[in-house]
Amino acid sequence: MKYAKSDTYQKGLALLNHLHGEEAGQQLLDNLQDVCPDFVDMTVEWAIQGIMARPGLDLLTRKYLLIASCTTLGHAVPQLKAHIASALKLGATKQQIVEVILQMTFYAVGAAVSNSLAHAKEVFENHKQ
């Protein structure tokens, strides 16, 4: 039985769609819906609406932080690409994104930075200017 989603969920979904586009945002949710719908709900309600929508930092700054975090992790490639695409959508330049990734050199080691730059290049090539 499906139930009505909370107001927090609806606001989080709207922000997710704003950040990633309706198709990409829905794809992110659909990828895990059958496996763990609770994780999808937690992501939308807590991570998107609860954290991303907080006052204090603008959305682009938050995206730069997420790009840096994904770079440092070194294995969050789908998330890295999604955050790069979203940052571009929010007005980031390619050079700013490259600088965010490059800043992680001493924290994420060269391999993670090199791989992240290669992934960024893929997103840049696919990004509609």
pLDDT digits (tens, 9 = 90+) for 35-84: 999 999 999 999 999 999 999 999 999 999 999 999 999 999 999 999 99
**pLDDT score at 129:** 58
All domains in the chain, ordered by first residue? 1-54 (no CATH), 58-129 (1.20.1290.10)
Instruction: Report pTM.
Output: 0.88
Mean pLDDT of the residues in the chain: 91
**pLDDT in the model for residue 4:** 65
Q: Using CA atoms in the order 49, 29, 62, 60, what is the torsion angle rounded to 10 degrees?
A: -110
Query: By the 8 A CB rule, do 63 and 55 touch?
Result: no
Q: How confident is the model at residue 96 (pLDDT cuts 50, 70, 90)?
A: very high
pLDDT(1) > 50? no
> Are 40 and 29 spatial neighbours (Cβ–Cβ below 8 Å)?
yes
